[in-house]
A and B are shown apart, each in its own frame.
Chain A
Amino acid sequence: MTTTDTPETVDSFAASGDGRIHGLRRMLFRKPGLTTAAVYGGVGIILLLTVIGPSIGPWLADAGCACGWGSEQIDSGHALEGPSGTHFFGTDRSGQDVFSRVLAAPRINLVIALAATALSVVIGVPLGLLAGYIGGRALAATATSELIMRFMDVLQSFPLFVFAVVLVAVRGQSTEIVIIALTIVNLPVFARLARAEMLTVREQPYADAARILGHGNFRLIFRHLAPNSVASSVATVPMVIGFVILFTASLSFVGAGVKPPTAELGGMIRVGANNMVTGEWWPSIFPGVALGLMVLIFAFAAQDIAARMRAVKRAEGLMSAETSVEAG
């Protein structure tokens, strides 16, 4: 497309459809390809398992199927049995059904991941926006901004794993502590992203334009600057969810995560790892594959969202190029 084409393109964009204007929206919600459908289908399945996963085993039992088990039900008479018609994925060393547990585990993993990610976004993004907005201005404001960011440096400079293990060791093993540890680990990521974007957005010409229209600081930040500063944070969320799932599993694997007998993927791998050397692979491999799939799905989702945002940015850039008149 040449530059001279652009005006018509813009107009046809604006006037398309029923007269409503939806260029941007069309770009964001374009028809999904097969891969995209698979990725979001995967996310959907994980969400579904989060809701009903733990009930599937008992439900199968109620339905009279020989394969139905509760995820925490123990049958020590059948410990370490290989995959069969009764136990699709076999049983672990205490006689728990691996299939039921693999279905039940996403609940705890995802709840931890969502909670920790949400908390780090809710705390980290506003802190970063604040630091970005007030930084480099008056002395007191700059000092506050620096204080926030240097604190983030401190948080980030801890070796993540050691930090989480120590926190769990000190405060005891509980889901809440795991969530708090993971929140602290991810907080700086969002604070930095938000700050970096705010630093550029606050200098944008439309920020000045909003100021001279008499908008107060509050309106300026919440209506004009913040919404324009959160794109990279949003695009990072699915990636962080995947990372947190992996991290939760790692913590459980070293025994600092979720307390057994709650079905949790990392914990299951840990329990099964002892039997791997003697040839009973199933208690570890199945939860391992499940874990890998979950992380992979969220990584793909992150990539997809980032690609969509790039497409929108590019489209906007293309349409703006033609108006690059000198700004005094």
Chain B
Amino acid sequence: MLEIKNLTVGLPSRAESGFDTMLEDVSLSVEAGQSLGLVGEAGSGKSLLVHAIGGLLRPPVVPIGGEILFEGQDLLSMPPDDRRLILGEELSLVLPGGRIRLNPLEKVGRQIVRVLRDHHPEMAKAEALERAIQLLDRVGIPDPDKRALAYPHELSGGMAQRTVVAMALANSPRFIVADEPTTGIDVTIQRQILEDFAGLIREDNVGLLIVTRDLGIVAHFCDRVAVVSEGRIVENAEVRTFFKEQQHPVSQELMRATVLERQKAAEWSAAAASR
């Protein structure tokens, strides 16, 4: 469904090839009803990949080679107007950061209504608003009918992040690319949103590419995992095999870091118990 073939992204330089590459020869594919977790250190190129999918690369950073195929159509080479019809409708992105992703001057309900009516102009305003409120409810925002009238700065960080997720879900996309969708949300809501995603995958055959730094999310919600390091995919495996044994040193390092954290947690509870 989403297939990335030999994608290389970089910026012009005086190097021999004429480019400094930031993503090199990245190939991935996610089928409908499947979910792929993309993990890697900070600065490895995870978010850059998401930006490339969303057509957000801005000169001097340019795609140098390769294709990003969504249902067989290359998102990179298609005219922006065609891409716009797909984005937010069939292919939705969740960008990280929460509140900073919302227009500070518009009520959040209104912003969701816009997403709906931009792609479905025939939808009546009242109907769109009702749907927006349902969406807010679905991502676990209490009093959704009141919160729909709030400006982004009047929401807590977690509520803003959930609103961003609601906007991505608005038009029932068939594929979701989520970059750190649950960072900054407390764990219960995090679980609720991820389970919502999982339900979409199971029942509506939606595809999911999720960028995260939490291997726990990968273990619970993904079918496959791809590890990015320094702009390359260094490992791409079934989740089951990945957690049994990691092939690449970077993957092993990631696992070790997570394990360390767990040890730390054990240490803390021991310390707390001894007081």
Interface residues of A (CB under 8 A from B): 7, 10-11, 13-15, 19-21, 23-24, 137, 204-206, 208-216, 219, 223-224, 227-228, 315-316, 319-320, 322-323, 325-328
Contacts and interface: CB of A to CB of B under 8 A. Distances in A.
Contacts of B88: 212-215
A7 B183 contact: no
A86 to B, nearest CB: 56
A328 B96 contact: yes
B211 A228 contact: no
Contacts of B98: 323, 325
A213 B180 CA distance: 17
Contacts of B24: none
Contact of A326 (B56, B105, B183): B183
Nearest to B95: A209
A14 B102 contact: no
A14 B59 contact: no
A224 B111 CA distance: 10
Interface string B81-113: 100111111001101111111111110000000
Given A21-B149, A208-B51, A326-B180, 19 more contacts: A7-B157, A10-B153, A21-B154, A23-B153, A205-B95, A206-B100, A210-B103, A212-B87, A212-B92, A215-B114, A223-B103, A227-B103, A320-B99, A320-B100, A323-B98, A323-B156, A325-B183, A326-B183, A328-B46
A15 B156 CA distance: 12
14 contacts: A14-B150, A23-B151, A23-B154, A206-B101, A211-B54, A211-B56, A214-B115, A215-B114, A216-B118, A228-B103, A228-B105, A320-B99, A325-B184, A328-B96
B104 to A, nearest CB: 7
Contacts of A227: 103, 105
B146 interface: yes
B66 interface: no
Contact of B153 (A7, A20, A319): A319
B167 A24 contact: no
Contacts of A20: 146, 149
Nearest to A205: B100
A15 B142 CA distance: 11
Contacts of B193: none
B146 A19 contact: yes
B164 interface: yes
B147 interface: yes
Closest 6 CB pairs of A and B: A323-B157, A328-B47, A214-B88, A327-B97, A209-B101, A213-B88
A20 B147 CA distance: 9
Interface string B173-211: 000000110011000000000000000000000000001
Contacts of A223: 103, 106, 114
Nearest to A9: B156
Nearest to B81: A216
A137 B58 CA distance: 8
Interface string B127-160: 0000000000000000000110111011111001
B43 to A, nearest CB: 10
B5 interface: no
Nearest to A316: B153
Interface string B16-27: 000000000000
Interface residues of B, number: 54
A326 B96 contact: yes
A213 B87 contact: yes
A215 B54 CA distance: 12
Nearest to A137: B59
B68 interface: no
Nearest to A207: B103
B50 A328 contact: yes
Contact of A206 (B103, B153, B184): B103
A210 B103 CA distance: 8
B104 A216 contact: no
A323 B89 CA distance: 28
A13 B152 CA distance: 12
B93 A212 contact: yes
A268 B118 CA distance: 58
A1 B88 CA distance: 39
A213 B55 CA distance: 11
Best-surrounded residue of B50, B59, B101, B211 (most CB of chain A within 10 A): B101
Contact of A212 (B42, B54, B99, B106): B54
A10 B103 contact: no
